Structure 1
């Protein structure tokens, strides 16, 4: 069976990029991308816009985040889906699906 994990998203940055660093000093950038939901023709269902967490890694990403990444900006993200799981302090399991990006471009 063939598997393909590839996404291309175009959306709006909800907030300025967050820059963190790995223990070895490699920059990791986190974005929150807002996308409109696909809505069925029957508008009676309450749909919210989708917010998805995007992670970028590397010096090039840090440069982009510092120079061009601003809340409200429109961007195109290419990458793959990732899943993160954790246990809360209350012992419940948390789960988040996001994107690890291979590239990001401004849409102006």
Structure 2
């Protein structure tokens, strides 16, 4: 049986994306996303727990995140978990678990929560027409089950800049 490392979250950015460039010229963006869990306890009181997630995006997806995402905006992130370990300057071993994003959907457009349109701010566009930013794997194939579910109006960005299917100007916001 195959193993599976797949993460899907919907939450709000806790900070603006920080975009950097690696020594070999690849863009990388990192930011935080908060997700909430609410429930009622035995006394019927509403309880809430917040989880904070570290997200990392690479290449074209990193550039798009840096350009369009900002603190407080709602976003759907799909990717895989990865734990990094290093030794800090103080000699203490540290680790960090991150979501390495493959797909990102911007939710709650400029008009506020629930508005999934682009920069126009009109509420006429249904949520299912929100552009999807999807990064395909190195061999150019979409993740399992994605190709059939992908809408014609969804923007697809491949990992290699030389394999770009949709230009950034085609994204309507």
TM bucket normalised to smaller? 0.7 to 0.9
**Residue aligning to 1:70:** 70
Across the aligned residues of Structure 1 and Structure 2, the Cα RMSD in angstroms comes to 2.3
Kept in 1: contact 2:17–2:65 (CA 8 A): no
Superposed CA offset, 1:21-43 (max 9, x none):
11111110111111124668469
Superposed CA offset, 1:66-85 (max 9, x none):
1x211100000000000011
Shift >4 Å, 4+ stretches: 37-40
Cα 1:2–1:107 change in 2 (3 A) is: same
The unaligned stretches of length 5 or more in structure 1 are: none
Local SS of the residue matching 2:25: coil
Distance in 1, matches of 2:66 and 2:107, equals 14
Structure having the larger proportion of residues in strand? 1
- TM-score when scaled to structure 1? 0.83
Paired positions, count: 105
Structure having the larger proportion of residues in helix? 2
**Residue aligning to 2:99:** 99
- TM-score when scaled to structure 2? 0.54
Bigger-Rg structure (1/2): 2
Higher relative contact order (CA 8 A, sep 6+): 1
Distance in 2, matches of 1:37 and 1:87, equals 33
**Residue aligning to 1:29:** 29
